[in-house]
């Protein structure tokens, strides 16, 4: 049995950097990250970033192509140790915002109406239209909490107990 795979019925505690995991989970819809995949090292809890093409690693992140090639080799050689972090699709981010807007995030009815009317189907346009850092911050916390719950549920299926760092 691979060291990264917990024994049947037992949970393995794994310390994972919350900010890096959040970034990895959002990577599918975040075009600023480029064509990159993220993998969780089931032994160390580290996030490993991997471009399919070494030239993309250089162009997009100025990552040493040798580092990218080494990451690719590790992931390929130890598939039980490295699991791909399932990224969030663009629609899921919109769904999070819709759920947030329908929640009780504020007692101020006028502010809730303003935030709801600013939404036109795009989270980015909503951020610009709502033009209120406090509201955006509340949404980001809401989304972060939702992602954390999704991640913990996903990792529980793999018998991992997350310790967020």
Please compute the mean of the pLDDT values over residues 160-164 and round it to a whole number. Answer: 94
CA distances 27 to 1, 4, 49, 134, Å, are 31, 24, 11, 24
> What was the pLDDT predicted at 2?
45
Helix (H, G, I), strand (E, B) or coil at 12: strand
Alpha-carbon gap, residue 90 to 123, rounded angstroms: 9
pLDDT digits (tens, 9 = 90+) for 102-125: 999 999 999 999 999 999 988 889
> What was the pLDDT predicted at 86?
80
Neighbours of 139 (CB within 10 A): 21
pLDDT above 90 coverage of the chain, percent: 63
Alpha-carbon gap, residue 114 to 117, rounded angstroms: 5
Higher pLDDT, 86 or 49: 49
1: pLDDT strictly greater than 50: no
Alpha-carbon gap, residue 15 to 121, rounded angstroms: 36
Average pLDDT, rounded, for the chain? 87
Q: The whole model's pTM is what?
A: 0.78
In the structure, what pLDDT confidence band is assigned to residue 4 with cuts at 50, 70 and 90? Answer: low
pLDDT digits (tens, 9 = 90+) for 122-141: 888 999 999 999 999 999 99
Phi, psi of 155 (to 5 degrees): -70, -30
Q: DSSP character for 11?
A: P
> What was the pLDDT predicted at 93?
81
CA distances 7 to 10, 12, 75, 145, Å, are 5, 8, 21, 29
Contact 103, 143 (CB under 8 A): no
In the structure, what pLDDT confidence band is assigned to residue 80 with cuts at 50, 70 and 90? Answer: very high
Contact 65, 54 (CB under 8 A): yes
> What was the pLDDT predicted at 134?
96
């Amino acid at each position: 049995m691979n060291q990264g795979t917990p024994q049947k019925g037992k949970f393995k505690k794994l310390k994972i950097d919350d900010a890096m995991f959040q970034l990895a989970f959002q990577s599918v819809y975040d075009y600023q990250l480029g064509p990159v995949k993220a993998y969780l090292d089931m032994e160390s809890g580290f996030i490993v970033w991997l471009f399919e093409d070494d030239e993309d690693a250089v162009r997009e992140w100025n990552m040493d192509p040798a580092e990218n090639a080494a990451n690719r080799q590790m992931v390929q050689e130890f598939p039980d140790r490295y699991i791909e972090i399932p990224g969030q699709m663009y629609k899921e981010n919109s769904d999070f915002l819709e759920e947030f807007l329908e929640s009780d995030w504020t007692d101020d009815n006028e502010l809730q109406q303003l935030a709801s009317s600013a939404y036109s189907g795009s989270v980015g346009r909503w951020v610009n239209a709502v033009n209120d850092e406090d509201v955006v911050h509340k949404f980001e916390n809401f989304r972060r909490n939702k992602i954390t719950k999704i991640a913990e549920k996903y990792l529980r299926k793999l018998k991992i107990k997350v310790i967020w760092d």
